[in-house]
């Protein structure tokens, strides 16, 4: 039984929205970030980068307090407004070949604790605490957790019907992505959607594991400090963007390793032969197209690696993941990489042209060997989450990537 709630969003005034919304802070290089901050006074980046105003790098609790102050200034200057009634916020984003239609809502931390909201990635306690500290100080959340639900024709009909009205926002950002947002305020429609989700056994986190974990930690903190906790307060929920699982786009991460752990090329290939049937590819770039098949680039040549299923045992959903197979057959036992998150010898890449980038990096000598995989699919993610297992780091790169500042959840 999944609980979802409408909320009163803090969001940009209609004429300011295209200028306010921003990509994730980490996606900007230094030059682009400086240009946006210098020439766009409405950008949400001013809120999360408050030191720019003082020409100073500010961190820690001091930064958190200034973020809160910048947020208040956006409210005072009528860049932001607060809606007068709780709503769901229908949001369509994307380009012609890939678009998603979902809605912003508030999801329950109790569902997170009870595993109604299911996860497939591990979180780092230090990062959980840091973001919980941030949320507690600033008093709002502007980055929704991306969650998926099983495709439902009734929900689809409700959402498509809502798109027939005039949107609150309709604009295209400079990366040619169109953004449209509608308010779903009708109480009967809100109640209908809530009833449908109450009949669902689970929601699945696609992206935002640390954000949801930190919201859970914040809720525990505030509850323990409160003498009148009831469970319905805003801090018992966090903002999410819910989309049908068919509209989640999943890309793979390639793996690149700096050395062969002391092995010569021939010795390394002999080690691989225990688990894989190896074929050299002469047709140029080679990318795998099936599960349990891998592409390897080594010493100027591509190889296909076909898993020998007689040499590898499938025991659970995790053991069937290609990222786990690569870890258990090559990265750990042969290349000596035990910590996929922190070992400096391994790097990861994703994107449309990443196979070319991987080849170029190895040809330049930055790395010695690289591996390409097929993307993990939605059913594999759900199987891992249902079994309460954890994927290896950098198993998935998931879209859509949501903008900050479009809808803000205050508590």
The string of pLDDT tens digits covering residues 118-149 is 999 999 999 999 999 999 999 999 999 999 99
Q: Do 24 and 69 reside in the same domain of the chain? A: yes
Give yes or no for a cis peptide into 147 (omega within 30° of 0). Answer: no
**133 plus 280 within the same structural domain:** no
Spatial neighbors of 381 by CB under 8 A, at least 6 apart, are 120, 204, 206, 250, 391, 396
Q: What is the CA radius of gyration of the chain?
A: 23
How many domains is the chain partitioned into structurally? Answer: 2
What is the predicted pLDDT for the residue at 327?
98
Same domain? For 181 and 36 the reply is yes
In whole angstroms, what is the distance from residue 147 CA to residue 124 CA? 20
Does one domain contain both 222 and 296? no
Do residue 82 and residue 219 come from a single domain? Answer: yes
Predicted confidence at residue 352, as pLDDT, reads: 77
The encoded tokens of residue 122 equal 């591990």
* Six-digit token string for 158: 């409700």
Which residues, 6 or more positions from 372, have their beta carbon under 8 angstroms from its beta carbon?
Answer: 252, 254, 286, 287, 288, 294, 295, 296, 297, 355, 358
Cβ contact 212:238 at 8 Å:
yes
Instruction: Give the predicted TM-score (pTM) of the model.
Output: 0.94
Looking at the fold, whether 306 and 344 belong to one and the same domain comes out as: yes
Residues of the domain holding 108: 4-249+399-410
Residues 108 and 216 in one domain: yes
Q: Please check whether residues 276 and 194 belong to one and the same domain.
A: no
pLDDT of residue 186: 97
Reference 303, options 370, 374, 385, 222; nearest CA is 370
- Is residue 380, in this structure, part of any structural domain at all? no
Taking the chain (411 residues) in runs of 10, the rounded mean pLDDT of each run is 97 97 91 96 97 92 97 97 97 92 98 97 94 97 97 98 97 95 98 98 97 97 92 96 97 97 98 97 90 97 96 96 98 97 95 90 98 97 98 95 96 93
Residue 187: Cβ within 10 Å count:
10
Query: Which pLDDT value is given to residue 227?
Result: 87
Residues constituting the chain:
411
User: Residue 7: is it exposed, middle or buried by C-beta count within 10 angstroms (0-12/13-18/19+)?
Assistant: buried
pLDDT at 100: 97
Asked if residue 312 and residue 231 are part of one domain, the reply reads: no
**Residue of 65, 78, 70 lying closest to 37 (CA atoms):** 70
């Amino acid at each position: 039984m999944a609980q979802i709630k409408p909320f009163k969003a803090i969001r940009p005034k209609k004429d300011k929205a295209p200028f306010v919304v921003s990509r994730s802070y980490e996606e900007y290089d230094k030059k682009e970030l400086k240009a946006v901050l210098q020439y766009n006074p409405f950008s949400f980046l001013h809120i999360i980068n408050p030191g720019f105003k003082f020409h100073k790098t500010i961190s820690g609790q001091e930064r958190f307090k200034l973020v809160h102050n910048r947020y208040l200034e956006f409210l005072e200057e009528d860049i932001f407004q607060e809606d007068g009634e709780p709503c769901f916020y229908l949001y369509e984003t994307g380009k012609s070949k890939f678009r998603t239609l979902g809605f912003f809502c508030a999801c329950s931390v109790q569902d997170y604790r009870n595993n109604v909201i299911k996860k497939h990635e591990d979180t780092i306690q230090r990062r959980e605490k840091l973001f919980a500290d941030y949320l507690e100080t600033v008093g709002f959340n502007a980055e929704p957790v991306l969650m998926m639900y099983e495709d439902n024709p009734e929900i689809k009909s409700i959402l498509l019907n809502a798109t027939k009205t005039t949107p609150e926002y309709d604009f295209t950002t400079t990366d040619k992505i169109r953004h449209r947002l509608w308010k779903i305020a009708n109480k009967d429609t809100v109640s209908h959607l809530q009833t449908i989700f109450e009949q669902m056994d689970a929601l699945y986190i696609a992206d935002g594991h640390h954000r949801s974990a930190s919201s859970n930690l914040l809720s525990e903190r505030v509850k323990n400090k409160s003498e009148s906790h009831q469970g319905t307060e805003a801090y018992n929920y966090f903002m999410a963007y819910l989309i049908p699982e068919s509209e989640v786009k999943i890309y793979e991460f390639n793996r690149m390793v700096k050395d062969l752990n002391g092995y010569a090329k021939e010795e390394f290939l002999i080690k691989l032969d225990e688990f894989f049937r190896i074929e050299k590819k002469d047709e140029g770039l080679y990318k795998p197209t099936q599960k349990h098949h891998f592409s390897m680039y080594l010493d100027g040549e591509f190889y296909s690696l076909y898993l020998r299923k007689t040499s590898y045992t499938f025991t659970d959903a995790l053991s069937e993941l290609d990222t786990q197979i690569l870890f258990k057959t090559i990265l750990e036992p042969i290349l000596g990489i035990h910590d996929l998150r922190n070992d400096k010898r391994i790097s990861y890449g994703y994107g449309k042209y990443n196979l070319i980038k991987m080849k170029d990096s190895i040809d330049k000598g930055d790395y010695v060997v690289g591996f390409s995989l097929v993307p993990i699919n939605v059913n594999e993610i759900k199987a891992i989450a249902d079994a309460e297992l954890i994927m290896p780091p950098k198993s998935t790169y998931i879209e859509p990537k949501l903008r900050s500042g479009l809808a803000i959840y205050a508590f």
